[in-house]
Structure 1
Amino acid sequence: MKVKLTLSVILFLLISSTLLAQTIKGRILDEDSNTAIAYVTIQADQNHKTISNENGEFELTVKSLPCEIYLSHISYQAVKAKVTETSTTFKLKPITQNLSEVVIGNNALSIMKSAYQKALETLEEPFYAKSFLRQIAYEADKPTYLNEIFFNAEWKGYGLLRWAPKESRFLKNDSHVSYTNLSVSTFELSGYLSNSSFIKPLSPKLDSLYTFKVKSTYQLNGEEVVVINCLLKIKTNKRYFEGDYYVNTETHHVLKIDGKLKNFNFDSKGLLGAKTKEVNLMSQYRLNSDLKNILDFSVFTVKSKMTLMGLGTKNLELCNTLYMIDYGKQYNLDLKALQSKTNDVKTTQNMVYNADFWKSNVIIKRTVKEEEAIKILERPQ
């Protein structure tokens, strides 16, 4: 009788816990302009967090309601709010930035050198994480490719180096373009340091490669952040980054990079090809409990035009979002090195698709456009 009672109590607790779990659906807007804010971090605790999508929308499963959630963004004042309903809207106030009227070259260079020296402290230190990657492609606004992967990973300041895929969802519909191995590019781009594949400002010869200019400064959580514009000053055929580095002037940690990639082109053979128009990269970083800088998320988008015998025919767009869900040593299991020859598409295609898993593991709320894409791509061919 005692055993039965114990089992009944356990079962009751498990069922109660499931019933109490709630999903908060919401949207985050700019207080001044009333426009959507993408990539806001929404967190209830270490195990319940997400980021808003490009339309400012989010879904977050919490243990129960009411609960407190914390909303943060590098360009907005952080907010702690008590949530009592499953549907809500938040407005964040932009942080006032002091625009620089003068090119402060020496100061900008000094800050970037300090940021590089700070990065060297953990140059070869691995950080292990549970990660999520979403890739979705469109041809003339028609969805043609979706690849979503949960995987364990090893990340360093110059990129994501090793992985172990755990769950995948691969959908394709009449695509004329191969996106094989583009997730590897996303991983390589996720660091703030230069690596063998992409030139970035933080490198041993940063002052001979780039010119630096202070664009603005502002206060974030009581500390000064400087936005430094980085422009390459040499000619090269190698792929490189130009844009802004957000640096904490007290700790010299890089908080964010935001800009464009140059010389990033699709390889094509035959009559059909693809001409790259614009490649954007935005990566954000945060401090862990040991005050070491780690990747939070990275967004990499490619806009191009399909060509037939050199003539443009229709627009192409590929969106990649890499999100680091959780960090911990337990994710250092069965990791394999990522290389230029790694066939990510073949890897995910060969994995068993678990429909129930994907219904309950959204991680980042899909936009209406993405939801429609999945409906189209899932239709029997």
Structure 2
Amino acid sequence: MRKYFLFFLLIFGTIAHAQIIQGKVVDEISGEPIPFVSIGVIGTNNSTVTNDAGEFVLKNIILPAKLRYSHVSYLLLESEISTANNLYVKLKAAAINLKTVTIDPYRGERLVKAALEKTKEFEKENFYGKAFYRQLTTIDGKAKQIYELFYDLKFNVSNVEGWIAKQSRFAESNEGISFSMSNQSYLTFLLAGSLFEGRKMGKYVSLKTLKDFEITVERYIEQKEQDVAVVSCKYKGKKKDFYTNFTYYIGVDDSKIYRLESSAFNLPLKVNATSKMPPNVTTVATFNGANTPIPVLESISTKLFLHLSTRNRSISPVINSMLTVYQLDKNLNTQNFTELNKKIQDKTVVESIAYNPDFWKNNPIVKQTALEDAFIKMMESKSAFGTMIDTQ
């Protein structure tokens, strides 16, 4: 009996000391927030990424713990923490080396080719993780609609292959003109990778299309382990084509991709309004290779820009989405995942799951920027999430 008592006492003691850590990461010199910083608990699979405001949340942390802060443009920082108080973390910018950029004009192409070949070795390997997705629509700078979903994901180095929605909520303001992007999650999932081989639409960087792009090393970021080359790939074809420019952050020694920024132009999207100019989308994807053979998706931010004319007025909707894989878990592979499909509507998925306000209340993963926080609080005050739409 005494053994059982000690066993349960040990479990209770462990749970009792689990903490929620919140903090902010800023530039050491300017004090400006740093988005997309990877923060991981050393020795565990627990990690997160800072949002646009440099803020982060980590849950279920047993103190004391050692945290690792990494960003391709800043020096790696590891620090021990013994308190759950809000952390204010300063990162030192890595040195930038421009001296060797113009020596070899083909250096950039070789770096990208080596990185894509390295990534292609793992294209059939699947990874599994828990993720949080938020999509915020603004019109002329004013928040109008928000989706939030928790997913279990199946993904690889190319994209998210399958998903299971676990929790969801949606709210919308009906004041003035509204606009809805019905399946931007599909676009986010589709772009959530670093290998774009075999794409049937548009002009992407791939092993077969390198000659279609002007490839230049912009700079080298001097990290302790290795230099990281920042390589831009700009499409050389017709500007009326549906094409994507890329900027790769590639390890010079290991040929691994740690960050990928893209700008896609002339997307073939259909909207129920007159488009004044072709839509375009920008993405920032970060990849973490701390516990995997190849850096895998950690986060992807997608921003879709539209310029429309409707009801005799011009509007400029911007749809921001952020997908964060906050925990890798290979045990999720036994589930039946819904395959990636552009015909699936986000709102239909949201409404298929009963809204659970207790789940969302004070959820440590749900961390907002100031604009998102203000809109969510307004919607919660009107019970808009419970009714699915603000009718006040």
Equivalent residue runs for 1:97-112 within 5 Å: 97-99=96-98, 102=102, 104-112=104-112
Does residue 168 of structure 2 align to residue 161 of structure 1?
Answer: no
Equivalent residue runs for 1:184-263 within 5 Å: 184-194=186-196, 195-207=199-211, 209-235=212-238, 239-263=242-266
Equivalent residue runs for 1:303-318 within 5 Å: 303-308=305-310, 311-312=313-314, 314-318=315-319
Does residue 271 of structure 2 align to residue 268 of structure 1?
Answer: yes
- After superposition, the Cα gap between the structure-2 partners of 1:71 and 1:149, relative to the gap in structure 1 and judged at 3 Å, is same
- State the match for 1:124 in structure 2: 124
The answer (yes or no) to whether the contact 1:210–1:233 under 8 Å persists in 2 is: yes
The answer (yes or no) to whether the contact 1:131–1:152 under 8 Å persists in 2 is: yes
- After superposition, the Cα gap between the structure-2 partners of 1:315 and 1:161, relative to the gap in structure 1 and judged at 3 Å, is same
The answer (yes or no) to whether the contact 2:244–2:263 under 8 Å persists in 1 is: yes
- After superposition, the Cα gap between the structure-2 partners of 1:311 and 1:283, relative to the gap in structure 1 and judged at 3 Å, is same
CA distance in 1, matches of 2:191, 2:21: 32
Return the offset for 1:12.
4.8
Give the gaps of 5 or more residues in structure 2: 384-390
- State the match for 1:346 in structure 2: 348
- After superposition, the Cα gap between the structure-2 partners of 1:259 and 1:327, relative to the gap in structure 1 and judged at 3 Å, is same
- State the match for 1:79 in structure 2: 77
CA distance in 2, matches of 1:275, 1:173: 26
CA distance in 2, matches of 1:234, 1:193: 21
AA aligned opposite 2:332: Y
AA aligned opposite 1:125: E
Deviations 1:187-238 (A, max 9, x none): 111112223345321232322x211011111232321211111000112655
The answer (yes or no) to whether the contact 1:277–1:304 under 8 Å persists in 2 is: yes
- State the match for 1:90 in structure 2: 89
Return the offset for 1:89.
0.9
Return the offset for 1:23.
2.3
Q: Secondary structure of 2:379's partner?
A: helix
Equivalent residue runs for 1:256-335 within 5 Å: 256-264=259-267, 266-269=269-272, 279-287=281-289, 289-308=291-310, 311-312=313-314, 314-332=315-333, 333-335=335-337
The answer (yes or no) to whether the contact 1:144–1:377 under 8 Å persists in 2 is: no
Count of equivalent residues: 375
Does residue 41 of structure 2 align to residue 33 of structure 1?
Answer: no
- After superposition, the Cα gap between the structure-2 partners of 1:269 and 1:118, relative to the gap in structure 1 and judged at 3 Å, is same
The answer (yes or no) to whether the contact 1:145–1:377 under 8 Å persists in 2 is: no
Return the offset for 1:8.
6.0
CA distance in 2, matches of 1:269, 1:63: 47
TM-score by length of 2: 0.87
- After superposition, the Cα gap between the structure-2 partners of 1:49 and 1:126, relative to the gap in structure 1 and judged at 3 Å, is closer
- After superposition, the Cα gap between the structure-2 partners of 1:336 and 1:215, relative to the gap in structure 1 and judged at 3 Å, is same
Deviates more, 1:186-195 or 1:280-289: 280-289
CA distance in 1, matches of 2:364, 2:321: 15
Give the gaps of 5 or more residues in structure 1: none
- After superposition, the Cα gap between the structure-2 partners of 1:251 and 1:234, relative to the gap in structure 1 and judged at 3 Å, is same
The answer (yes or no) to whether the contact 2:137–2:180 under 8 Å persists in 1 is: no
The answer (yes or no) to whether the contact 1:192–1:202 under 8 Å persists in 2 is: no
AA aligned opposite 2:97: N
CA distance in 1, matches of 2:341, 2:225: 41
- Please provide the CA RMSD for this pair: 2.5
AA aligned opposite 1:204: K
CA distance in 1, matches of 2:278, 2:209: 29
AA aligned opposite 2:224: N
TM-score by length of 1: 0.89
Question: Percent identity between the aligned chains?
Answer: 24
